[in-house]
Amino acid sequence: MGSAISHQLTRKGKFITILTVGIDLAKNVFAVHGVNEAGKAELTRPTVPRDELYEPINCSIGMEA
């Protein structure tokens, strides 16, 4: 199995690895969901304003317009 690019963030002093990030796009508010290698939700933000999108996700994001 090939290696995947992951993102690490810190929650309560513990490193958490996010393997997949999903973003539900909208005009002003996004929903962000990130899962670890086991498929367990580690990052769930149901309402993220457009200007705060990069705060919970500190990695490159590619989106199709």
pLDDT tens digits, 15-53: 778 888 888 888 888 888 888 888 898 888 889 898 887
pTM score over 0.85: no
Q: What is the CB neighbour count within 10 angstroms for residue 2?
A: 3
Q: Which strand (E) or helix (H) includes residue 42?
A: strand 41-49
For the record, the structure tokens of 2 come out as: 């090939």
Closest C-alpha among 3, 2, 37 to residue 17: 37
pLDDT band, very low/low/confident/very high, at 2 (cuts 50, 70, 90): very low
pLDDT at 6: 56
pLDDT at 63: 64
